[in-house]
Amino acid sequence: DAKTTQPPSMDCAEGRAANLPCNHSTISGNEYVYWYRQIHSQGPQYIIHGLKNNETNEMASLIITEDRKSSTLILPHATLRDTAVYYCIVRVGGGNNAGNMLTFGGGTRLMVKP
Amino acid sequence: DTAVSQTPKYLVTQMGNDKSIKCEQNLGHDTMYWYKQDSKKFLKIMFSYNNKELIINETVPNRFSPKSPDKAHLNLHINSLELGDSAVYFCASYSWDTQYFGPGTRLTVL
């Protein structure tokens, strides 16, 4: 699986958009970008994933650059409850493969401030 | 409705003891995992099970023995507990690109 690089921490004002960057310059053509978050004392939570097109769901948007070497997770209107560690993970996706476990890095600790 | 549940939530025990952590998922998934999160907060995969069969063992000491009585349950038994086993253990189930994590079990070995 390709390695990812994320800033260790970021701050965001409540109500503003939170833009979390991720570099994955060694990503392969069949690898997807996944985002999970872990709120304090809870298990990780799936947010979104994509291959090369931008994706949006009820939680966030994922913008992937054309060369796929980096991506940005966007929380459009951050709330205090979005304070968490956000993990960007790159791995082969698709299907229902039992070998598709996740390799977590250090993530970005997002602090949403009032 | 809790999709993935773990018991107990907290476990404090002495070195050398044997303990078990239970995990259950009501999502109907075939695949389940155990992850360990250490004091530095890094999450690492331990085991992967598919339909009650072990698929992946990420060089975990054989003191750790997962057991899957049916595909909704994946329990973790740990023998001869050591100080370094203190961590938060997460169970997860998986289906079609999404993993669903349990709330975690905080194990403290004294």
Q: What is the DSSP string of B46-85?
A: EEEEETTEEEEE-S--TTEEEE-SSTTB-EEEE-S--GGG
Query: How far does B15 lie from chain A, in Å, by closest CA?
Result: 24
CB contact under 8 A, A104 and B90: no
B59 contact partners, CB below 8 Å, separation of at least 6: none
Does the distance separating the beta carbons of B33 and A101 come in below 8 Å? yes
Provide the mean pLDDT of chain A: 92
Q: Is the pLDDT of residue A98 over 70?
A: no
β-pairing, B4-7 vs A84-92, is unpaired
User: What is chain B's mean pLDDT, rounded?
Assistant: 92
Chain A hits for B50, CB-CB cut-off 8 Å, are: 98
Distance separating alpha carbons of residues B99 and B33, to the nearest angstrom: 9
In tens, the pLDDT along A10-45 reads 999 999 999 999 999 999 988 999 999 999 989 999
Q: Do B99 and A102 touch (CB under 8 A)?
A: yes
Which of B33, B42, B97 is nearest residue A104 as measured by Cβ atoms? Answer: B42
Of the two residues A96 and A70, the one the predictor is more confident about is A70
Residue ranges of B 4-43 with Cβ closer than 8 A to chain A: 4, 30-31, 33, 41-43
Residue A109 β-bridge partners: A9, A85
Phi, psi torsion values for B44, nearest 5 degrees: -130, 140
Query: What pLDDT is stored for residue B66 in this prediction?
Result: 92
Closest CA to B63 of B15, B11, B23: B15
Structure-token pair, residue B10: 């907290």
% helix, strand, coil for chain A, step of 5: 5, 45, 50
Give helix then strand counts, H and E, for chain B: 0, 11
8 Å CB contact of B45 and A102:
yes
What confidence score (pLDDT) does residue B40 get? 83
Contact assignment for A96 to B30 by CB distance below 8 Å: yes
Residue A70: its pLDDT value, please? 97
How far does CA A107 lie from the centroid of its chain?
A: 9
pLDDT of B1 above 80: no
In our burial notation (b when 16+ CB lie closer than 10 A, e otherwise), range A7-25 reads eeebebeeeeebebebbbe
CA atoms A78, B101, A1, A109: torsion sign = positive
B56-74 pLDDT, tens digit each: 787 789 999 999 999 899 9
